[in-house]
């Protein structure tokens, strides 16, 4: 495993798994959200995002996390030698997302480029909770087709459906 991509729904644990895996493999952790979100929750210009992402995945070793299909698929998926899909149940993802969001707000945890989550954003149609609800089914229908496609024929694909499966798989990685 030299170049690993971790994908899945918002709140599934992509960043957590990718950070642990990067540490275990001694590889850089590339968090696509950190490349996409600029100060003030401003989205990057897509070409600037692609330039930064291309530089981040240029080395021979990395563990990247994030979906960003419309902006990153052609850059990351063909380079990855392992693609891990965190396909956790929606109810679990929502519980984790609520816990994480409230913890971040309460502690005023800084995310990428100084951004912090705010109470007002939790209750809008653009909230992460709404995003998770909308995207869960899309991921479930999209990923099996992508794993079967020519872009991933060279890669080892791993579908993890429970926290226990994630822990077992991570324990097997040396």
Phi, psi (5° rounding) for residue 3?
Answer: -130, 105
Phi, psi (5° rounding) for residue 100?
Answer: -65, -45
More confident residue, 143 or 121: 143
56-81 tens-digit pLDDT:
999 999 999 999 989 999 999 999 99
pTM above 0.75, yes or no: yes
Residue 123 has pLDDT above 90, yes or no: no
pLDDT bracket for residue 102 (50, 70, 90):
confident
**CATH annotation of 3-172:** 3.40.50.300
The rounded distance, in Å, linking the Cα atoms of 23 and 11 is 20
Residue 122 has pLDDT above 90, yes or no: no
Cβ(11)–Cβ(104) below 8 Å = no
Residue 103 has pLDDT above 80, yes or no: yes
Task: Calculate the average pLDDT of the chain.
Answer: 92
Query: Running DSSP on this structure, what letter comes out for residue 153?
Result: T
Indicate if the alpha-carbon torsion angle 131, 137, 139, 142 is positive or negative. negative
Indicate if the alpha-carbon torsion angle 138, 144, 150, 154 is positive or negative. positive
**Structure confidence at residue 37 (pLDDT):** 93
């Amino acid at each position: 495993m030299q170049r690993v991509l971790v994908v899945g729904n918002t709140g599934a644990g992509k960043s957590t798994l990718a950070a642990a895996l990067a540490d275990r493999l001694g590889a850089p952790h590339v968090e696509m959200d950190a490349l996409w979100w600029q100060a003030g929750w401003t989205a990057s210009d897509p070409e600037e995002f692609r330039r930064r992402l291309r530089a981040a995945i240029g080395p021979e070793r990395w563990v990247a996390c994030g979906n960003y299909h419309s902006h990153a698929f052609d850059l990351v998926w063909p380079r990855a030698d392992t693609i891990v899909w965190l396909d956790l149940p929606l109810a679990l993802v929502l519980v984790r997302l609520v816990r994480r969001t409230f913890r971040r707000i309460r502690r005023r945890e800084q995310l990428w480029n100084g951004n912090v989550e705010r109470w007002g954003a939790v209750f809008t149609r653009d909230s992460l909770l709404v995003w998770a609800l909308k995207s869960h089914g899309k991921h479930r229908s999209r990923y099996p087709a992508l794993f079967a496609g020519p872009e991933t024929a060279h890669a080892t694909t791993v579908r993890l459906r429970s926290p226990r499966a994630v822990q077992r798989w991570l324990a097997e990685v040396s």
